[in-house]
Amino acid sequence: MEIGIGLLGCGTVGQAVVKLLQEKGEDYGRRTESQLMLHHVLVKDLQKPRPGLTSEQLTTDPSLILDNPDIQVVIEVMGGIEESRHYLLKALHAGKHVVTANKALMAKHGAELFDAATENGCALYYEAAVAGGIPIIQTLKRSLASNALHSVYGIINGTTNYILSAMTEAGRDFEAVLAEAQAQGFAEADPTDDIEGYDAAYKLAILASLIFEHRISVDNIHRVGIQRISAQDIAHARELGYVIKLLAIAKRGENGFEARVHPTMIPAQHPLASVNGVYNALLVQGDAVGDLMFYGQGAGGMPTASAVVSDLLNIIVEMEAPPNLLMGCQHPSTEASLAAADQVMNRYYLRLQAEDRTGVLGQLGVLMGQADMSIHTLTQKKHAPGKAELVLITHPVSELRLRQVVAKIQQLDIIHSVDSIIRVEDFTG
């Protein structure tokens, strides 16, 4: 059986997909009892060198892929949202199966694409949209189908993990490490999507929809970036036995479904604390299986292409079978409501600048006690003449209560500033 393939995009990931198909095509064909044929690759510039591809395969005309009856599977690795959405909807309505690595597209328009896939009896696979080469989507939908999933905690953005890891190792500030990451190609010239948490939020929307078995809007995910994390915060975290990571969290909390992305202090002995550099990791908690940890390269040409081609091979072996219900979308048509961020309970780390004189700790303790907010740990450090730096960790408190108390703390004449507020995660959900 010959399987015709069309590829939308030929950047870093697209070229890696081509490389895998060329180098391992015979092996893939043996495993799937088929012959894989890459018909056309959509590019923007026909003059740019594309190793391993002929001029006949390259095209700037998407219709040669989307309207070609000899192509059964369309792979999208071009990125962007509206153009990709248009192409994939057209492919699905033409009865073509789809593989995509597009996290933003799946987070924003996954429901529409799944509806089109179901309507036309097509497969829509997207393993590479989350955590690169780590096989998390197939695992959640197939291997853990016997479980009720309680939560997922993820380090799912390599750029921010590289920055925070470098800050931790070298004691350097955010801006200096960001510039270094950009110079080495680990961060984009415009790093907004990464450092402000958008990239992680897209991926979390996809993961949360699988954990909760409901459609989740990325716009409803609470998101905080890493721009305000300082070398002082990282040093204090180390002294207190913690490491700071940008954590994506989806879990069933006391007030309902929670989905949030933010810098988080996690215990230094926890497995996620040792995930450094550009690597990704996910901790999944199921009712039957308990805790499972997944670790690997979350980006890059070959790791991402590995996930893309694996999806392709899964589609091929399932083509002659009835639709795979486990891999389809079975969520209700309505979106799930998420717990309001200000009602979520967390412990918090606070760093304050205060007057260095008698009675400061007493006033602070009285104010927090009156608000029914208690302190778990408090450390006082001499910061400058007449000024002391206070570092404290609270007992669990809602964000709403915390913000109310912080507003009152800032009004005290003994407090110069509240410089940092970071959530502390105990992994109890």
Phi and psi at 405, nearest 5°, equal -70, -40
- Rounded to whole angstroms, the Cα distance separating 357 from 429 reads 41
Enter the DSSP assignment of 180: H
Please choose, from the candidates 208, 165, 200, the residue with its C-alpha nearest in 3D space to the C-alpha of residue 339: 208
Phi and psi at 14, nearest 5°, equal -60, -45
Q: What is the largest CA-CA distance in the chain?
A: 83
386 three-state secondary structure: coil
- Rounded to whole angstroms, the Cα distance separating 89 from 76 reads 12
DSSP string, 83-128: HHHHHHHHHHHTT-EEEE--HHHHHHHHHHHHHHHHHTT--EE-GG
Query: Which ranges of 95-230 would DSSP assign to H, the alpha helix?
Result: 103-119, 136-138, 158-170, 174-183, 192-195, 198-212
Contact in structure between 156 and 248 (CB atoms under 8 Å): yes
Please choose, from the candidates 54, 99, 112, 53, the residue with its C-alpha nearest in 3D space to the C-alpha of residue 72: 99
Residue reference for tokens 């003449």: 385
203 is known as an active-site residue: yes
Catalytically annotated residue among 203, 245, 381, 408? 203
Q: Which residues pair with 99 in a beta bridge?
A: 75, 125
Tally of helices (H runs) and strands (E runs) in the chain: 13, 17
Residues labelled as active-site residues: 203
